[in-house]
Amino acid sequence: MAKGIIEIGDSSFDSEVLQAEKPVLVDFWAPWCGPCRAIAPMVEELAEAFGDTVKFTKCNVDENPVTPTKYGIKSIPTLIFFKDGKVLDKIVGIVAKSRLQEMITNT
């Protein structure tokens, strides 16, 4: 796991994401997912750039099926931006790094 990115699961989701004091980006992924591996370096760069103001997390959908089901995740990668326990934005699939930055800075 890259520096500044926290691995979360079904048991830690509420405390790490919904009760977090700062906004949280959750990257729903799986190790076998090519697009997930492709977007990971962009998420890591954003974690370095915005890590002081945003918490960055990853949730392996294979190991943690409850949370992805709860949020209607049907394909990965899916990135959801939370603030104060609420979903503010959601991105499915690979997008440009600028779109990820936009999600963080505009919400």
pLDDT tens string 31-41: 999 999 999 99
Distance CA 57, CA 7 (A): 6
pLDDT above 80 (res 1): no
pLDDT above 60 (res 11): yes
Name the band, by pLDDT with cuts 50, 70 and 90, for residue 23.
very high
Angle at 80 between CA 28 and CA 44, to 5 degrees: 65
Clarify whether 59 is annotated catalytic.
no
The residue from 33, 54, 100, 103 that is catalytic is: 33
Note down the domain range covering 84. 5-105
Q: What is the per-residue pLDDT for 2?
A: 65
Q: What is the mean pLDDT of the chain?
A: 94
| Residues facing residue 78 across a β-bridge | 28, 92
The residue from 26, 36, 46, 54 that is catalytic is: 36
Q: What is the per-residue pLDDT for 79?
A: 97
- How many residues can be counted in the chain? 107
User: Are 81 and 104 within 8 A, CB to CB?
Assistant: yes
Number of separate domains in the chain: 1
Q: Which of 59, 54, 7 is nearest to 28 (CA)?
A: 59
